[in-house]
Amino acid sequence: MANPLLTPAEAGAQLGLTPGALAQLRYIGGGPLFIKLTAKAVRYRQSDLDAWIASKARESTRDYGIAQ
């Protein structure tokens, strides 16, 4: 599989976030896109993590990025 599905623990390890922090981002919004396979099974695509990281790049502390 070219774009494997990662568990919240695996995704969190790459991002430096806990699975609980990712769960909070899923609830409030603003985190990386995720796949909900079943009511309890959540996965992340590597490409979505990479895109989310890229969207967080800033040139200064005054740079808020594009409003969403």
Instruction: For 5-52, write each residue's pLDDT tens digit.
Output: 999 999 999 999 999 999 999 999 999 999 999 999 999 999 999 999
pTM, rounded to two decimals:
0.84
* Matching residue, tokens 């774009």: 3
Instruction: For 48-62, write each residue's pLDDT tens digit.
Output: 999 999 999 888 888
Distance CA 53, CA 19 (A): 17
Closest listed residue to residue 26, CA positions, set 51, 50, 43, 47: 43
